A and B are shown apart, each in its own frame.
Chain A
Amino acid sequence: NAGVMQNPRHLVRRRGQEARLRCSPMKGHSHVYWYRQLPEEGLKFMVYLQKENIIDESGMPKERFSAEFPKEGPSILRIQQVVRGDSAAYFCASSLYRGETEAFFGQGTRLTVV
């Protein structure tokens, strides 16, 4: 039973390009969370999605960032027109039920904007 899979592990983008980060939750999990970790900081919540629904996007920047979790396929975090400040580690977590005791995290995608 594979864990939460994120790809790519490392992504380099030039300023102004688009970044697409993918997250495949654990088998059977229908709840996905995205977190961002800036250097020397803790993880910051971005968005919580269920299949085809955004439940809580209170941590998403108002512009350039979007997330989806389609009926089929992985969850996608999309960052348009990236800037240097978007450089961070982006982690995805999944859970089986809403409010499950623990969420399982993927290994993260490290985005570097040059």
Chain B
Amino acid sequence: DQQVKQNSPSLSVQEGRISILNCDYTNSMFDYFLWYKKYPAEGPTFLISISSIKDKNEDGRFTVFLNKSAKHLSLHIVSSQPGDSAVYFCAASADYNQGGKLIFGQGTELSVKP
């Protein structure tokens, strides 16, 4: 039962353009969502998060949008750079303030071409 889904295994974007990564979820009890970035042979690195009471959170070039009615969130990366090339995971938690576990999607591999 895949509660968090990233339906695009890969995405290719030209340098300088916007990258949009999508994530869908099925569990309406999720109250916190996070995006992680992962390079090969390294652990995931936290990027940005959003609480279910918000619909947008922005941090520099990264913006996360949450559409609760559609159970969908997206990560927008403006001015994409080759260094942004990595696997991006979205994750969700149903009880985050109590230390709830994270449920991860399968990941989307972003490739930013010069």
Q: A42-B105, A42-B106, A43-B89 are in contact. Are A98 and B44 (CB under 8 A)?
A: no
* Measured CA separation A6–B42 after assembly (Å): 11
| Bitwise interface map of A from 9 to 48 toward B, beta carbon under 8 Å scored 1, else 0 | 0000000000000000000000101010000111111001
Contact A59 B101 (CB under 8 A): yes
Contacts of B34 in A (CB 8 A): 102
> How near does chain B come to A15, taking the closest CB pair, in angstroms?
25
List residues 59-114 of chain B with CB under 8 A from any CB of chain A: 89, 91, 95-107
Q: Given A101-B49, A102-B49, are A43 and B98 neighbors across the interface (CB < 8 Å)? A: no
C-alpha gap A43/B100 in the complex (Å) = 15
Whole-angstrom distance between the alpha carbons of A55 and B105 in the complex? 23
- Which residue of chain A lies nearest to B101 when distances are taken between CB atoms in the complex? A45
A102 to B32, alpha carbons, bound, how many Å?
A: 11
Q: Is A7 an interface residue (CB 8 A)?
A: no
The segment out of A69-77, A80-88, A105-113 that lies at the interface is A105-113
Q: Which residues of B approach A to under 8 Å, CB–CB?
A: 4, 6, 34, 36, 41-46, 49, 89, 91, 95-107
- What are 29 A-B contacts defined by CB distance under 8 Å? A4-B43, A33-B101, A33-B102, A40-B106, A42-B4, A42-B89, A42-B104, A42-B106, A43-B102, A43-B104, A45-B101, A45-B103, A48-B99, A48-B101, A55-B99, A56-B101, A95-B99, A98-B97, A98-B99, A99-B95, A99-B96, A99-B99, A102-B46, A102-B49, A103-B46, A104-B46, A105-B43, A105-B44, A108-B43
